[in-house]
Chain A
């Protein structure tokens, strides 16, 4: 894992270290503001958020990036976003639900960070300072593990209640009705089972495989 990059802006060489969890969270927040500004086509907001991102990541003044030529800014942005990209693909953070999430009445600006701190502090007893300085992957993976633990505990508790076994009048039996899981905890689709066919049942001659799957247990696209 790369731990730092050296960027060059307006003749100045700056060493930028890989962000810890808190700074990474702030940088991702700036990136989402950048995305929104791009979607609005707000040129001033785009350049401002780009320079804010670089300033926050490098601990340099924003003016340094605002006055620099655009190519240096673009290269620095690419290098720093690559440096801070999480190396783990975690379903909790990668999953995008198409359903719109309703804003709750207890929502407030910056709540997500406090939710993360609360989740980790409750599970491990760590302080906010300790959590802020976790490696990006460690923090994210442990948040997912904590959320998984909570869900499995809720499922266990649900299975012990009568609500989990509704009575069906038709069959006069009770059937287990599991607690629904969040979308990101859905089942992984299994690869289709391989079936073998007798050679005598295969077409004769030249076969061009357009299915994207191997033929006769091979990865070949063409079989003679």
Chain B
């Protein structure tokens, strides 16, 4: 799991793409992924943060592999809880 400084940077990157509330984890992840399709730079930036793998190395990987890394990164870093925490600190939520 990410340290606090990286986690807050991740939130700043992902915040426009995080849904307010969603009960189902699968729906949550698919919403985030779909929302990020239009913003590959942010997608890649979030992947660099979550995996610690260099951008150049990530670009070489297959799209499916990147998606797998992204989804597991969202779960491993408990992004839904990260959003709640950052909003509780006073960050805007979108």
Contacts and interface: CB of A to CB of B under 8 A. Distances in A.
Contact of B91 (A38, A44, A67): A38
21 contacts: A35-B90, A38-B89, A38-B90, A41-B12, A43-B8, A43-B12, A46-B89, A47-B3, A47-B8, A48-B5, A50-B4, A65-B4, A70-B1, A70-B6, A70-B7, A70-B8, A70-B77, A70-B85, A71-B1, A74-B4, A74-B81
Interface of B: 1-9, 12, 77-78, 81-82, 85, 89-91
B9 A43 contact: yes
Per DSSP, chain A at the interface is helix
A74 B90 CA distance: 14
A50 B6 CA distance: 13
A70 B90 contact: no
A38 B11 CA distance: 12
Per DSSP, chain B at the interface is helix
Contacts, number: 50
A70 B82 contact: yes
Contacts of B90: 35, 38-39
A46 B3 CA distance: 13
A47 B89 CA distance: 11
Given A50-B4, A71-B81, 17 more contacts: A38-B90, A38-B91, A41-B91, A43-B5, A46-B8, A47-B4, A50-B89, A51-B4, A69-B2, A70-B1, A70-B2, A70-B4, A70-B7, A70-B8, A70-B85, A71-B78, A73-B4
